[in-house]
Amino acid sequence: MFDDLQIEVTEEMLAKRAGSRGGVSEKILEQCRKAMEIGEKLLEPRTIHDVFTIEKIGENRLFLEQGCYFESEHLTKLLGGADRIVVMCCTIGSGVEKRVGELNSNGYLADAYFLDVYGSVAVGVLARKLYRKIREQFAGYGATVYMEPGQLDWNVRDQQVVFRLIHPEKIGVTLNSGMMMNPVKSLTGVFGIGEPGRVKAGDFSCEFCPKRESCTFRHEAEEMMEALA
């Protein structure tokens, strides 16, 4: 567990996530600053992860120790060449979403919206920080980028496998029958590690996506990978 990871969210991140394109008005920036001021005090970041041996990689199933497997053709291609898989979960706690609910109930809809956006950005930043921190532990090994259950062809029901493997309940994250996590601002993900010459180091999870060429987020993913290199 790494509970000392710093979450750094900028006005630019929030404005972009909120849908602003091109020039950003002072009104939007003020809302972003307000959300940051409130949100930073409500963060309770917690993380958990573990490493498992990959027993076999089939066409659309990735078999692990303990008889568990993930089912996704995209995931098997991404992790081709890896011999171990890191399974991770992170959360910023329930403080932000509770305050969002209070703001909505009291009619402060704009404040609620931007604070909710802040929470989404913050947990994303935390996930990337966790990913980088784990990679540091495996310096000298090749590593793929991480992929989350629910992305592309990976069915969100495999959240059950994630929870069976690393028990996010230990950091206060639970899973309901609809595969939704609580706190809502929580993320899970996996990535592969192995010999540098075999692992698709530097690839990102969009690589084999059929919507790659038309995806509006493709360039953002590529920018993220450049930053992580």
pTM: 0.88
Q: Is residue 1 part of a domain?
A: no
What's the number of domains the chain is made of?
1
pLDDT tens-digit readout, 148-196: 999 989 999 999 999 999 999 999 999 999 999 999 999 999 999 999 9
User: What is the residue range of 134's domain?
Assistant: 11-228
pLDDT tens-digit readout, 8-37: 999 989 988 877 666 678 899 999 999 999
Q: Residue 37 maps to which CATH number?
A: 3.40.109.40
Q: Is residue 67 part of a domain?
A: yes
Q: Is residue 5 part of a domain?
A: no
pLDDT tens-digit readout, 140-154: 999 998 999 999 899
> The dihedral of CA 142, 145, 146, 150: what is its sign?
negative
Q: Is residue 190 part of a domain?
A: yes
Question: Could you tell me if 34 and 74 are in contact, meaning their C-beta atoms sit under 8 angstroms apart?
Answer: no
Q: Is residue 4 part of a domain?
A: no
pLDDT, residue 174, reads 98
Question: Which residue carries 């890191």 as its tokens?
Answer: 86
Q: Is residue 98 part of a domain?
A: yes
In angstroms, rounded to a whole number, what is the distance separating the alpha carbons of residues 203 and 146? 10
DSSP helix/strand/coil, 58: coil
